[in-house]
Structure 1
Amino acid sequence: MTKELLLAAFIISVGLCVAGAGTHFYQWRLRQQAMLRYDGATVFASMGNLVMSFFCGPYIMLQMGWSQEGGASVNMGSALLSALVAFGWAFLTGLLIVGLYVAVRS
């Protein structure tokens, strides 16, 4: 059982690393805040925003959960909910990346 938990933790960490690196790269190259969105001026821009939102979504969700609200404090409920969604999403993203790596490598 320990091997399965370590594998799940590894997959989640790969997903979070890809999401964080992708978010910072997106913000550096396009000089705009990365947000979860699917709009765009053209169909290709919409698809690009959708792909960016899928791969960078876990990191953006973690940032949204830790954002301060009106009283300059973090709401514990939104932080926990965003962490749950982000880590589940990071597992799916990491599974896609690790699966692609294993498929190409084999």
Structure 2
Amino acid sequence: MTKELLLAVFLIGVGLCVAGAGTHLYQWLARQQAMLRYDGSTFVRSLGNLSMSFVCGPYIMLQMGWQHEEDGTISMTSALVSAVVAFGWAFITGLLFMGAYVAIRY
């Protein structure tokens, strides 16, 4: 039981690291804010935005949860929901990247 829990935490950590690094790399190269979107001027750009949103989504969700309300406070519900979604999404992202790493490496 402990091994499975540690593996899940490790995959979430890998997913968050990949999402954070991907988000900052995208913002550095594209010179624009990373957002969850699927629009684009061409079909190829739409696929690029969709793939960027999938890889960088957990980090973007965590950032969205910490946005301030109109009165300057942080909504606890928004922060908790975005954290649960982001950690679940990071597990899927980490599983995808670690699976690809193990498949290529071994």
TM norm structure 1: 0.99
Q: Unpaired runs of 5+ in structure 2? A: none
1:30-89, Cα deviation, whole Å (9 max, x unpaired): 110000000000000000000000000000000000111111111000000000000000
Measured in 2, the distance between the counterparts of 1:27 and 1:73 equals 27
Name the residue aligned to 2:98: 98
TM norm structure 2: 0.99
Q: Unpaired runs of 5+ in structure 1? A: none
Task: Kindly report the root-mean-square deviation, in angstroms, between the aligned alpha carbons of the 2 structures.
Answer: 0.4
Q: How many residues align?
A: 106
Measured in 2, the distance between the counterparts of 1:7 and 1:13 equals 10
* Structure 1 residue ranges, 4+ long, deviating more than 6 angstroms after superposition: none
Name the residue aligned to 1:68: 68
Equivalent residues in 2 for 1:44-63, closer than 5 Å: 44-63=44-63
Deviation at 1:105, TM superposition (A): 1.0
